[in-house]
Amino acid sequence: MAAVCRRPTRRAAAHGTTTTTTTTGAAGTRRPRLVVMSTNDGGNRAAAPRSELGLRADCGSCFALCCVALAYEKSADFPVSKPVGEPCRNLQDDFRCGIHATLRRDGWKGCTVYDCFGAGQKVSQMSFGGTSWRQAPETQRDMFALLPVMRQLHELLWYLSEASERATDAVGATTAGLPAALRTALAETDAATRLLPGQLLSLDVDAHRAGVNTLLLRLSEAVRARHPETSRVDKRGADLLSAKLRGADLRGASLRGACLIAADLRGADLRDADLIGADLRDAQLADADLSTALFLAQTQLNAAIGNAATRIPAWLERPAHWLAG
């Protein structure tokens, strides 16, 4: 099948008191929106690191939700199709994958690039108190529906955590009040992940995501402005399928949501480039510098092809399938 570029879809908080308000949509429906009413420290508290937020997948604490709750179609990434709610044929009774060591070789590439950002264990252990969908079949519908919602929020936590860390490097009039706003958004998003399942399923995640995106854009523009000669490169949502960008100077470029499937980025300089939502499936990243790339996620690296010389952010892991040299 031809590759298709996907565009981005898209209890009390530790930092303050939380509550919910409601917003009215175009059709007159009212959906709760989470708001952090106050902070105990005037908004000066440092953002929680990724480890405290639980943003790395812990499959041993999850009920294999990605293997059941998500659907996939037969393609270059999967050898068969599966609907939502049907367990993967490789899923064992102990919630382990029967072919985990040979997923790529056996045609299950899609499984190797997926990352829930820690949402799976949050749904399993916190939202549903450690009771699996096998133990309580009546919870299946809500549990499976909750995973993609929780994943969106955990993905936002990942970006907000990075943005909060980098806000101190971004100076200028456009960043006035930005660090505090990012910390508040992070606390608000973290609080949302701790709502009861019914509350979280009715949360207006799209509205929350839009608000967070405004802050991330401000941070991105401020960081990228440090490269005046190249920051004007705006390829947001661009179709760069198989693009020849070997050795390109893309420092500070905006590649948000760009289709970079099979693009040749070998030796390219992507420092401070905004890569949020960029599709890097089979992109060639050998010898490229992504050491300070903005909003790069592990799932993007897992989908790409790099080597030992590819420079990546310290908080990400070099995928096992990348070449050794």
- 229-325, CATH topology level: Pectate Lyase C-like (2.160.20)
| Average pLDDT across the chain, whole number | 85
pLDDT of residue 43 exceeding 50, the answer is no
Does residue 126 sit in helix, strand or coil?
A: helix
Band (pLDDT 50/70/90 cuts) for residue 53 is: confident
What percentage of the chain's residues is helix, strand, coil (to nearest 5)? 35, 10, 55
Q: Tens of pLDDT along 174-224? A: 577 899 999 999 999 999 999 999 999 999 999 999 999 999 999 999 999
Question: For the whole model, what pTM was predicted?
Answer: 0.82
Q: Is 196 exposed, middle or buried (0-12, 13-18, 19+ CB in 10 A)?
A: exposed
Beta strands (DSSP E) in the chain are 16-24, 30-39
Region 95-121: mean pLDDT is 93
Buried b (16+ CB within 10 A) or exposed e, 56-85: bbebeebbbbbbbbbebeebebbeeebeee
Band (pLDDT 50/70/90 cuts) for residue 54 is: confident
C-alpha triplet 63, 55, 3: angle, nearest 5°:
80
Nearest to residue 189, comparing CAs of 140, 132, 139, 118?
118
**Domain spans in the chain, listed from the N-terminal domain onward:** 51-70+114-224, 229-325
